[in-house]
Amino acid sequence: MATSEERKQRIAALVSELAEVLGDVDESLGDCWLDAVENQAIEIGDAVSVELTRQVSQRRPREKEANCPQCNQAGHYRQMRERELIGRRGPVLISEPEYFCPCCRKAFFPSDAGDRR
Ligand SMILES: [Zn+2]
């Protein structure tokens, strides 16, 4: 994990690159120039949040087994699955490990705490 100063510098470099790619701010997208810039920044921030969540979800460690939320027996890892969740910034596609319980003969996702069918 980078220090906060390193992180700040890295974000500034990424934003410089992004600003160059995006070009001039369309002032019609806000009540004034500042409003338009902030609207664009919010839109980009939401897109970054969605993409960061998707990428981080793919890197989460997965175990060979997880306890079934219904019978508490060991379920076996089957595959990574994608599904859409509603995050604070709107819909986000995440990857998560799917397990199969041989007792219940059902797939489950440990992150669901047993409410997935
Ligand atoms: Zn089970």
Instruction: Using the mean position of ligand 1's atoms as its centre, give its distance from the Cα of residue 71 in Å.
Output: 4
Closest CA to 75 of 41, 48, 43, 109: 109
Q: Residue 66 in contact with residue 99, Cβ under 8 Å?
A: yes
pLDDT tens-digit series, residues 41-87: 999 999 999 999 999 999 988 889 999 999 999 999 999 999 899 98
69, 107: one domain: yes
In a domain, 38, yes or no: yes
Instruction: Using the mean position of ligand 1's atoms as its centre, give its distance from the Cα of residue 64 in Å.
Output: 15
How far is the C-alpha of 74 from the C-alpha of 83, rounded, in Å?
23
39, 88: one domain: no
Give percent above pLDDT 90 in the chain: 69
Q: Residue 83 in contact with residue 93, Cβ under 8 Å?
A: yes
Report the Cα 87 to chain-centroid distance in Å. Answer: 8
Instruction: Using the mean position of ligand 1's atoms as its centre, give its distance from the Cα of residue 54 in Å.
Output: 28
Domain count, the chain: 2
pLDDT of residue 114: 45
Q: Is the pTM for the entire model greater than 0.95? A: no
